[in-house]
Amino acid sequence: MFKLLHIDSSIRKRQNSNPQHDSISKRLAYSFVEEMKNNSSVSQYVYRDVGMTPPPFTDQEWLGAVFTPINKRSAQQCQKLAISDSLIAEVKEADIIVISTPMYNYGMPAQLKAWFDQIVRINETFSFDLARGDFPLEPILSGKTLVLITSCGEFGFEIGGVREHMNHLAPHIKTLSKYIGCERIYEIASEYQEFADLRHQSSLEAAFVETRKLAKRLI
């Protein structure tokens, strides 16, 4: 039995009146999720499209509430953290977290970064102790699987690729995923979108095949 949390972050819809405007990352994530639902026991499925409905950015009042002990928080501070608390609860419940994201300006969309900023939180998803020396942060959560599905306009962002040094998307998400309890990470990528040639078509088709294969592997 799997509890699945699905986060989409493209500002495009999965399906549009003009198919050329469809979100590739959302289509790939949908393929994975549908395969999981059809072939395994998904006991709980939670979906958030942060691209269309982004969480609020954090601010000074949010930070102040975070660092106020729970039993001393005002009603206003509790309200300030309500969305964060809800998003964290979803992460805590999940066994598998699916994140789909396009690459924007070589990194993640601001909407997805806002989601991470709301959930990677001291005393909720990680602890901080200077007694640990130069590495005081430790994750509190564990045992989760991350399925990261990305789409890129260019190509060569993989390890050893010609644009590896420009990839601030997957490495950033993988770093943050430690602090939401993800111990296993699988990545599926579609590239060459801006070139709109056979390389893109081949990459996209291969990515769809990988979504189905990975879903069956995780069952």
- Residues 219 and 105: their CA atoms lie apart, in Å, by 35
How is 3-34 classified by DSSP, letter by letter? EEEEEE--SS-SS-SSGGGS-HHHHHHHHHHH
Of residues 175, 183, 194, 208, the one with CA closest to residue 102: 194
Helix axes 110-119, 82-93, angle to 10 degrees: 90
CA dihedral for 93, 46, 147, 166, sign (positive or negative): negative
25 is in an annotated binding site: yes
- Residue 45 phi/psi, 5-degree rounding, is -130, 120
* 145 contacts 95 by C-beta, under 8 angstroms: yes
Alpha-carbon distance 108 to 100, whole Å?
10
Annotated binding-site residue numbers: 10, 23-25
Annotated binding-site residue numbers for FMN: 10, 23-25
